[in-house]
Structure 1
């Protein structure tokens, strides 16, 4: 009998290994198809099968899956990546092989934020005012029509890359120049979305199929960028407020033709109520699935794989706790000399995971997006207050030392001088891991 295989297109730093482990627990052999398998260090570390193939080439992917089908019983195909077009590609391959999967056209519509906004507005979903811009003149006129401050971001993209709050004309011109001046890497032809700044607390809804599984609350570091500082599940909402978000979530699914598999919806609760910032036709990245599992006992990754292979999934809550993550974010550029204390932090009762993304000697260059995070700590307990106290104690045990590039250059110059003029410089910093004020 052939082994049952789960084909995974590309991967991610945050939950790629979680998908692999979940597939193995279900008796499946995970096989990754990637344009560059070396990008995902867990593949080599776990000695997993990975095949290099152009994942932008649908025909090449179909040929590779057909070849694998001679040695394996392909139980299902799915994908995840920083490039959301991978989800649509996975849907197309599923259709070709008559396997369960999302509707590719719906995924494609979601990946273009302008098209998504158009459909949401037509469906009566509350969203911020917005305009599409293709050049600097368009951006300037769009901001003038909407009124500052505005959010300026690529129409296609993820992970807050290229997203910035522009509070005045100078910030608007500076960020427009960044996006259109060759420094931003575009995933498609340059098109910019200019949105009204929806001020208020941030919430995120995790959905599987048509069911809202969890609503979480999040906070970012200081503006003008949107870098996570913390996230907690469930969010501190009343039953009425949860119902309101759940109802709007259903409207989003109808407007965009979604309803199979995972969806993540981002909200801001403004003075006028909740407005939808973005709908992502995939499982949330970062630590979202882990928080849901700790809070409710629902393994969204395993349940997603069950859908992919045609099995019945179980979304019943097994308990009700509070889970939260605190992200470690460097507050300056420089050389990461030390990041330590993870073992001590992990020993704190209630800590579920301590993870560092970087190792010493790495260069830290902040970009104002998810890549600025250099680690995280996850904890859970019966209450939010207790969980936050656990996080505080754990994070306080972590030591991070970053030497700014200028200081490093001075050290290098000093080391070339006679010993009598050597100077010692050991500047330690601690990341801003206390709750930053919400950027609203």
Structure 2
């Protein structure tokens, strides 16, 4: 696919906008791509030919976006024909390839070392600890036996997790020695497309308190928060994310201690230009950084932030990687919530239908996340299996939760348990 450029001032290269682990990427990514298209002329690199993305781009190249060499070669070829002014990548699996392109073309953005420092929890822990940023005590282990020894030093409960995965994939709470073997098997089985998982795994202290996420932007080394997400989790021992609340007036946005900690963490990781998604535990002993991700958050958290504040995360993201000072100024303050509906057993989807909300105020969206025929598994078979999600607005989290309950009651899943013939 090749179309004449709409502008003469160059193009923004977008990498991996459609990569969403066999899900329809449009509900999760279109708000970012449409924002970028309002600002720049776009060219897309993705692993498949574009479908819904066509209306936003002037050209596209289908290639293996998990192969940094292939992506860099294609980017250099494109740069011979058009001036590339920046590069935007919102997907964890293709983030390392994108960093190689950033370095090869000399545009602002995440370097290879920075992406690896964010992704690899062993490196992150070392760099943040050296910088004096609060971290849980941890060790790396290669066997369940080593994990048992480390857990005795760290004291139960502990958390096992892969070094390089996000979205709580393979993350397991271990409350005692008898749970270690099964937990280690779950952690070592976790994978994500395009992400290398080393054969040593993180074991760390379990942190008490609620977990929040903070999406922010870094421009010329200065960190600015945009949105705070209040994470909702499923039952232990897994850390399945079942939903989030985002409020435009969240007090953490003005918490000098937390913002200072985030500035120090981003500096320690070498982030000078980019958007990030940082997870923080609000423990009884103070805030502790769980991890810093070198891209905007998933689960539509930035989209909720846009609705809650008026700040457009897509525009902010493309501005900071093209040398433009981002505008991060809220225009209003609302409270939004999203809830993900997952399977209660391993199943094959037959049909997803939605009731009419009628005059129910505050229900903004009810959306299917998978097509008929999709197979969904409960943890530990899959940590992000969802058949639908609902979005609602309220005066506060309590009212928002009530409206999410109402929306969830209107979703009907027709399915058959796996093991039966379709």
TM-score of the superposition, structure 1-length normalised? 0.82
CA contact (8 A) 1:82 1:159 kept: no
Question: How large is the RMSD of aligned CA atoms in angstroms?
Answer: 2.8
**Counterparts of 2:182 and 2:341, CA distance in 1:** 27
**Corresponding residue pairs, total:** 402
1:159: which partner in 2?
167
2:204: which partner in 1?
195
CA contact (8 A) 1:151 1:164 kept: yes
CA deviation digits over 1:229-263, x for unaligned, max 9?
22111399656983332232122122222242211
Pick from 289, 305, 316 the counterpart of residue 276 of structure 1. 289
Deviation of the 1:71 alpha carbon: 4.2
Deviation of the 1:354 alpha carbon: 2.3
1:65: which partner in 2?
75
Larger radius of gyration: 1
Pick from 297, 301, 316 the counterpart of residue 303 of structure 1. 316
Deviation of the 1:41 alpha carbon: 6.2
Deviation of the 1:16 alpha carbon: 3.0
Pair 1:136 & 2:144 matched: yes
Deviation of the 1:207 alpha carbon: 1.1
Deviation of the 1:322 alpha carbon: 0.8
Local SS of the residue matching 1:283: coil
**Counterparts of 1:26 and 1:233, CA distance in 2:** 26
1:113: which partner in 2?
121
Q: Larger deviation: 56-65 or 313-322?
A: 56-65
CA contact (8 A) 2:246 2:305 kept: yes
Local SS of the residue matching 2:350: strand
1:416: which partner in 2?
none
2:63: which partner in 1?
53
Q: Unpaired runs of 5+ in structure 1?
A: 413-440
Local SS of the residue matching 2:278: strand
The 3 A distance-change label for structure 1 pair 165 and 48 is farther
Deviation of the 1:179 alpha carbon: 4.1
Pick from 37, 55, 68 the counterpart of residue 48 of structure 2. 37
Local SS of the residue matching 1:144: helix
**Counterparts of 1:160 and 1:90, CA distance in 2:** 23
CA contact (8 A) 1:43 1:50 kept: no
**Counterparts of 2:181 and 2:358, CA distance in 1:** 45
2:384: which partner in 1?
371
1:437: which partner in 2?
none
Deviation of the 1:126 alpha carbon: 1.6
Local SS of the residue matching 1:263: strand
**Counterparts of 1:331 and 1:242, CA distance in 2:** 38
**Counterparts of 1:315 and 1:330, CA distance in 2:** 38
The 3 A distance-change label for structure 1 pair 69 and 236 is closer
**Counterparts of 1:46 and 1:214, CA distance in 2:** 26
**Counterparts of 1:364 and 1:243, CA distance in 2:** 42
Q: Unpaired runs of 5+ in structure 2?
A: 20-24
CA contact (8 A) 1:348 1:394 kept: no
2:22: which partner in 1?
none
Pick from 307, 311, 316 the counterpart of residue 329 of structure 2. 316
CA contact (8 A) 1:345 1:354 kept: no
**Counterparts of 1:88 and 1:398, CA distance in 2:** 38
The 3 A distance-change label for structure 1 pair 48 and 150 is farther
2:305: which partner in 1?
292
1:436: which partner in 2?
none
CA deviation digits over 1:203-227, x for unaligned, max 9?
1111111112222211101111111
Q: Larger deviation: 3-12 or 225-234?
A: 3-12
Q: Larger deviation: 376-385 or 266-275?
A: 376-385
Pairwise mapping of residues 332-347 of structure 1 onto structure 2 (< 5 A)? 332-341=345-354, 344-345=356-357
**Counterparts of 1:183 and 1:216, CA distance in 2:** 25
Pair 1:8 & 2:19 matched: no
2:361: which partner in 1?
349
Local SS of the residue matching 2:387: strand
The 3 A distance-change label for structure 1 pair 283 and 400 is same
Deviation of the 1:316 alpha carbon: 0.7
Deviation of the 1:89 alpha carbon: 3.2
